[in-house]
Structure 1
Amino acid sequence: MKAVQISQFGGPEVLTVTELATPAPGPGEVLIDVSHAAVGLVDVFFRQGLFKDAPGMPAPPFVPGLEVAGTVRALGAGVTEFRVGEPVVSMSSAGIGGYASAYVAKASMMVSIDGLGIDPALAVAVLPNAAMAQVAFSRVAHLSPGETVLVQGALGGFAAAFPGMAKQLGASRVVGTVRASKLAAAEKTKLPYDRIVNSATFVDDLGDEKFDVIIDAVGGSVRQDSFAVMKPGSRLIVSGNASGDWSHQVKTSDLWLNSVTVSGFNAGAFMGPRPEWIRPALQAALIMVEAGLGETEVDVLTFDQAVQAHERMEDRSLNGRIVLKPE
């Protein structure tokens, strides 16, 4: 099979296209002929070796990628809910392996898109992230109908899944923030935000408006400023660190005095031990996409352009997501 492999930790140039043996599905697994593999910020972190000293993290050589779309080629023993040739989207339990023309997935982490008329590039760009957004809202933030949501980095690959899922779960208002350079793109987005403002001035722009739930995958000064738009009972969900600022700290006494909550949401760590949550979350994501609430921008590149894809992830020039296709 054709694959994009990380030969060593380093910059985008360590991504190389190679030929590897095609894997076979074991019990409870499915072999997928991959049509599209999503590129995520976690792939960049893995390539950089940011988490290389953490237990269980991948070491070179390995194939990155945790979200794929394609068709079923073969079924492992005990798999009865899918059929050969069926179009599917899958998440990865290990967080790697997706940048390949063939991928072995756990059947429990897949969902069929057969007959739904959803473009596979959009499906892989949106469905897994929307599933994670559903879990973040329902299991961590405990979002209730009628509550308000603020999404930092509103057009980011992961963040873009949150406004649609918030609306689907009954949020009354969803506001996003973006850098000044992305305000023009924000005006054209089809994502269901009620308003998008400058992340550098959002506190002043929003005036007295406060939010029940804040989703922050940005970090740094944006995370610190988020406390200014919280009220007693507000929940700040830390879901990433696109800013690259790993030094931010929170005073726990401030949480107590202001009666606010800060929770971390790392989808792999949180959902890994709870595989039974994944299929229902993917089904909820399908409903969201079918309702037109996930119309994020998707750029499709080939495996041969994987270096370019990672360069764009690093310089943060992307509005939406990049997906790779074998050819």
Structure 2
Amino acid sequence: MHAIRLHAFGPAENLLHEEVDDPVPAPGQVRVAVRAAGVHLLDTALREGLQGPAPAPTRLPTVPGREVAGVVESLGAGTPDSWLGKRVVAHLGFAPGGYAELAVTEADRLHEIPANLDAAQAVAMIGTGRTALGILQFAELGPDAVALVPAAAGGIGTLLVQYARHTGATVVGLAGGPLKTVQVEANGADLAVDYNDPSWPAKVRAHLGGRAVTVVFDGVGGAVAREAVGLLGPGGGHLVFGWSAEGVRGGPGHFVEGVSESVLGPVMLEKAGGLRALEERALAEAAAGRLAPAVQRFPLAEAAAAHRALENRTTIGKVVLEP
């Protein structure tokens, strides 16, 4: 099979498209013929040699990638025969191996893909979708709410905008550049603003006409977060789940005592009833048409280009590799 392998930590060009041995499923595992593999900003950090949340250092050479969707084409000993031939999606956890034509994972990580979703959409929901729904647990949304979403053209931002609109909330979406703001507007935001324009806070205030922002969904950090928090009214909340403006080597984003709350980690999982519960909810929301992930597709062989696009913040939606 062909896969993307990393032999040395460093720039995106170190991701090489190579022919490697087919993986063999162990007992209780399946082998999936991959139709789509998710790419995450964390993957770029691991590529550079940063530890991230993984329990053990990355061992080289490695095949990156932790989200796959495709068709089960082989079973390990003891794996139920009923999985064979099914369209499935799985988050591999901390095990690498997703950027490949074939990937192995435990059968208990699998979800059957709903009939009306393709593999790329399923990959978007198994990782990005579950995170978005986990974040939304901490927000009180409804017709009286005003939600501000920085990075609203990204994978998580797209879903946050859609969900907030579904509740009747007023939604302001921020994005970098005119192409992205057009996408955010098309996605349902009441107002889409380019955060590269220094006057963007004034445009938001003018649009709201005296109403204050009630919740900021912040995966960006930096100057955008500082300005966004300044738009919050009394009792408003700043939900922090990333700081992409700081880069993969950056530290925690902008925090204000009594206003900001970090919503990733054990608190999110405890509130949701675990990762699998979030994954099931995410797939169900997409299958019902209430959430529609935006996907930007790259051929598997162009994984380096996908990483560069993510790092340069030129992508729209969830980045997916297709063998």
Q: Shorter-chain TM-score category?
A: 0.7 to 0.9
Gaps of 5+ in 2: none
Which of the residues 272, 275, 279 maps onto 2:276? Answer: 279
- Residue 237 of structure 1 corresponds to 239
Deviations 1:232-260 (Å, cap 9, x if unpaired)? 43332222222125356656xx524xxx2
The TM-score normalised by the length of structure 1 is: 0.82
Which of the residues 191, 207, 213 maps onto 1:195? Answer: 191
Name the CA distance, whole Å, in 2 between partners of 1:188 and 1:22. Answer: 44
Q: 1:88 to 1:226 in 2, by over 3 A?
A: same
Which of the residues 297, 301, 313 maps onto 2:298? Answer: 301
Name the CA distance, whole Å, in 1 between partners of 2:59 and 2:183. Answer: 37
Q: 1:52 to 1:262 in 2, by over 3 A?
A: closer
User: What residue identity is the alignment partner of 1:128?
Assistant: G
Deviations 1:115-138 (Å, cap 9, x if unpaired)? x22222222234421111112222
- Residue 37 of structure 1 corresponds to 37
The TM-score normalised by the length of structure 2 is: 0.83
Name the CA distance, whole Å, in 2 between partners of 1:33 and 1:197. Answer: 41
Name the CA distance, whole Å, in 1 between partners of 2:212 and 2:261. Answer: 15
Give how far 1:45 is off.
Answer: 1.5
Does the CA contact (< 8 Å) of 2:8 and 2:61 recur in 1?
yes
Name the CA distance, whole Å, in 1 between partners of 2:268 and 2:106. Answer: 14
Which of the residues 226, 235, 238 maps onto 1:224? Answer: 226
User: What residue identity is the alignment partner of 1:153?
Assistant: A
Name the CA distance, whole Å, in 2 between partners of 1:130 and 1:136. Answer: 10
Which of the residues 161, 164, 173 maps onto 1:163? Answer: 161
User: What residue identity is the alignment partner of 1:160?
Assistant: T
Does the CA contact (< 8 Å) of 1:130 and 1:165 recur in 2?
no
Name the CA distance, whole Å, in 2 between partners of 1:235 and 1:72. Answer: 43
What's the secondary structure of 1:124's corresponding residue? helix
Give how far 1:13 is off.
Answer: 0.7
Superposed, which structure 2 residues align to 1:1-327 within 5 Å? 1-51=1-51, 56-76=56-76, 79-80=79-80, 83-94=83-94, 96-114=96-114, 116-138=115-137, 141-146=138-143, 147-167=145-165, 170=167, 172-183=169-180, 185-186=182-183, 189=186, 191-200=187-196, 201-207=199-205, 208-244=210-246, 246=250, 254-256=256-258, 260-265=259-264, 277-326=274-323
What's the secondary structure of 2:160's corresponding residue? helix
Does the CA contact (< 8 Å) of 1:220 and 1:248 recur in 2?
no
Does the CA contact (< 8 Å) of 2:23 and 2:103 recur in 1?
yes
Q: How many positions carry a matched residue from both structures?
A: 314
What's the secondary structure of 2:245's corresponding residue? coil
Does the CA contact (< 8 Å) of 1:5 and 1:15 recur in 2?
yes
Name the CA distance, whole Å, in 2 between partners of 1:90 and 1:54. Answer: 18
Does the CA contact (< 8 Å) of 1:131 and 1:278 recur in 2?
yes
Report sequence identity in percent: 29
Does the CA contact (< 8 Å) of 1:179 and 1:198 recur in 2?
yes
Q: Which moved more, 1:52-61 or 1:34-43?
A: 52-61
Does the CA contact (< 8 Å) of 2:216 and 2:229 recur in 1?
no
Q: Which moved more, 1:102-111 or 1:218-227?
A: 102-111
Moved over 6 A (4+): 269-275
What's the secondary structure of 1:158's corresponding residue? helix
Name the CA distance, whole Å, in 1 between partners of 2:202 and 2:297. Answer: 37
Does the CA contact (< 8 Å) of 2:181 and 2:194 recur in 1?
no
Does the CA contact (< 8 Å) of 2:155 and 2:294 recur in 1?
no
Q: 1:133 to 1:187 in 2, by over 3 A?
A: closer
User: What residue identity is the alignment partner of 2:13?
Assistant: E
Q: 1:121 to 1:12 in 2, by over 3 A?
A: same
Name the CA distance, whole Å, in 1 between partners of 2:105 and 2:173. Answer: 34
Q: Which moved more, 1:38-47 or 1:238-247?
A: 238-247
Name the CA distance, whole Å, in 1 between partners of 2:284 and 2:37. Answer: 21
Name the CA distance, whole Å, in 2 between partners of 1:36 and 1:235. Answer: 36
Question: How much is the aligned-residue C-alpha RMSD, in angstroms?
Answer: 3.1
